[in-house]
Amino acid sequence: MSGNLIEVRGVSKSFGGVVANKGVSIDVAEGGITGLIGPNGSGKTTLFNSIVGYHPIDEGSIQFKGREISKLRVPEIARLGLLRTFQQTRIYSKMDCMKNMLISVSHRDEGLGTMFGSMRDRETEEFAEELLEFVGLYQKRFLIAGELSFGQQKLLEFAMALMNRPEVLLLDEPTAGINPTLINGLIDRLKRANEQFGITLFVIEHNMRVIMNLADRISCLAHGELLATGTPDEIQNDPRVVDAYLGA
């Protein structure tokens, strides 16, 4: 047992002539918070898409708990407990928060497995309420989601992902567009989801202050290739990383 939930090895992915990832190898340690940084266009989202089965990779391997998943599709990978969120929120803006929470589970039942297939409706509702409480939206549970602030919508989306009890959650820029006060609340929730619920997190983040505070290991991509991996301290002081950002 390597202690890694995800092992990405030598992954390459091109779109036509554009090389988005080239020979990337990254570990996501079980129970940890791994950060993924890099300038715009360095291949971060492509790597996430490859891991969750959104598109096939050209080369390399991706293992989840020792099992090769690079040939599996999104629903099969989600069923194994590996979920992602998106840079743009994907909530149902005309429905209230509770409905959004409940729908995120029925979606899973339709296509994403049956881990909670036996859960009764009332239990599902109670779990949804607990999670809304956890993200600080319990009082707003009957409010139409489109009326929440952008930051609150992100918190709702995070709670919706937790409804599926993922083992690993891939978060694509969770703090993008959120005001500083809510950012601190979100960081706190992410840490608690990791510590209390034991969810392994793999996080793309542009905000350096956030990722340095949140992650225990960070990998940096540049031009589709892995530039460096290390602790937040090592990464912050790595001249190659500094150059990649200044040169971007």
Q: How far is the CB of 32 from ligand ADP (least distance, A)?
A: 21
Cβ proximity of 61 and 11 under 8 Å: yes
Which residue lies nearer to ligand ADP by CB, 24 or 193?
24
Which residue lies nearer to ligand ADP by CB, 191 or 223?
223
Q: How far is the CB of 175 from ligand ADP (least distance, A)?
A: 15
CA pair distance 4, 10, nearest whole angstrom: 16
Q: How far is the CB of 131 from ligand ADP (least distance, A)?
A: 28
Which residue lies nearer to ligand ADP by CB, 135 or 170?
170
Which residue lies nearer to ligand ADP by CB, 13 or 189?
13
Q: How far is the CB of 214 from ligand ADP (least distance, A)?
A: 18
Which residue lies nearer to ligand ADP by CB, 52 or 148?
52
Q: How far is the CB of 52 from ligand ADP (least distance, A)?
A: 13
* List of residues contacting ligand ADP (CB under 6 A): 15, 18, 20, 38, 40-46
Count CB-CB contacts under 10 A for residue 144: 15
